Structure 1
């Protein structure tokens, strides 16, 4: 499978993708908003603020931005610790500014959610927990300790204590909920992105292998004639140099090496040819080609197709179909005890495949999630799993599912039943079943394409 080779990127790795310039730009927006709010509060609403201290706190952000601009290169990308420290600085700066402007009585206290949300989206869980805890502590302090807002007439602007308590509870709940929500959603998006990238890599690899097989086969075909000529000429030299044994041995060596080249090219040519007629093949031929790498792994693979009144369809040999089926068959061979069955059936509308094994089946609690990337297994009650091999990330099945769905297929995962069971209630799970169904129009090579001229094979371009 592909699971062992592709791992999801960690939060620390993703944090390294953020440019310092982006954080500086966001901080300039915050500084502009803070200056605007203080100016409007003083001159429009006549509030008495500690203007010097407020400008000092905002100036600290300005100085931090200027230092970052002149000290670090413009294209610098922040690591996990640097990102966390920058967000922590912004959180503390905002907290001190709220302390000077009424604490939780200031409606802008809602902005305390900003740094925590950024952390949840781009940083690791540990950094998010640290910043979230700091934000909760700051909110709790600001609910009790702050400089009150005063008007020109000396009136103190305060909410009733019940509203302050409600704001405090709401902010703490929002910090916890938004952090958890952002971490979860971002993790899902990143996992899907990583898995889709791995799928594209697998498809590109399969396409390259297919193209390479065609090049090798064409090379074997083109070199066959000169090798035959070399063999014929060396044979004649051997007969003519019977009185000169030293030259006769050289001619025999040339013929021997020509035979060796012929055998090597013949073996390489078995990988397939790039002839146009091999771009499509009967359904069972494509299925057997997909299963071929796993036929000699100690498990018996049976192929069956239902005898339908409709002739066996001829389908396109798409790399995504071959690679997707190969992953499913590999999965069945990995977990089968002795045997794997691949059954095909078709009618005038659909083409269907069923891949079954005689293993322990899929874990029932994961059946609804099979095909999700980077799937983690929860230890079932009792300590022993029904299918303990499924402790990986499920990336191989995701790649197979994605590639086959790209070709128009619909996949279903299920567990079979032991045919020797006495009743449905008593029957034990018996093997895993994967059903793949295509609309014929999506995968079948039409009759017009089958009977049309194939054209010339393309020459090899160096």
Structure 2
């Protein structure tokens, strides 16, 4: 292990998935508005030039022009923002209601068959908005429709069309109903999917909060136990030191060897307790240690081999240059937990593979044990889900999943193609690497 670094390392928070349902729904409204702009322009030109119904062309084309500016502004907001507020969705729908009202006012008011398009705005509001906002859209749409029944610019029909006004109204109503049906199916299903994703995201957050509360309780118990065990272990170390110098023991090589083994075991216990306290943040100073990835992983493998001399552990490193990272005990403990799980699952050979790409450090542990059962794979990473069939099992992988998640990474568990279990850790260098190196990437 290299010497401690002189400066405090900046740890970045885990990158949680953003609750961007509002942003996705605003993007859908922008798409719908593009369709409305294209439809309005096409309809105005067809009616004015193709059907010889004289419309106030310049005034009616102002509305889609303003809508284009509205969409451009909305897209600029979407690029800068992670999410969109409820008030912004309400104002966006309100703009569409007023734009539709303006177009209908200039083209026959309530006699225009496209007045039914108000239902699209009401339906979208029912899905996207809160109760008071939905009723606001309903009230504004109803008021606008009522106003259009008494105040509007009549259509300027040519004499040949005046006798077919009812037929034109029926055709326009049919086209409007088809448009409403298609738009509602296309956009309502997508918006409903966005809201379902949001609910699933909130459910994951609640589950993570429960798991983190469980970890906090476990950490408090482990820290308390580490403090309480420190005193008896120190007493044992003193007693074993005295035994080593007793004449009766020094004369017997077997007893000397056994005392040495007991001292090594006590030393190992003290090192484990020190690691627990460091993981809890109680023994970490302002200058945490740093090491390059290769030496850090080789030390973990060396220590694990020393504690498990009868089990083969191979370390394979990809042909990469590895940066210096903070040698945090929680990473060491996570990897050690994976190796211990492989041993307890009956493995006689373990292969630890380390590689990297531009942003991530990959650590895979593959063993030749019995692997994961289908039920275990479905619940992997949850507490007390274990294939070892003993009380308290399953906490190792649970802790690994949560440690990696808090560091902004992910864990994937599977069965290897040739048998055994495969657990892969993916850790971001933005969290692990030293500040000066991560900033320079």
Structure 1 or 2: more helix by fraction: 2
Does TM-score exceed 0.5, indicating one fold? no
**What TM-score does the superposition give when structure 1 sets the normalisation length?**
0.38
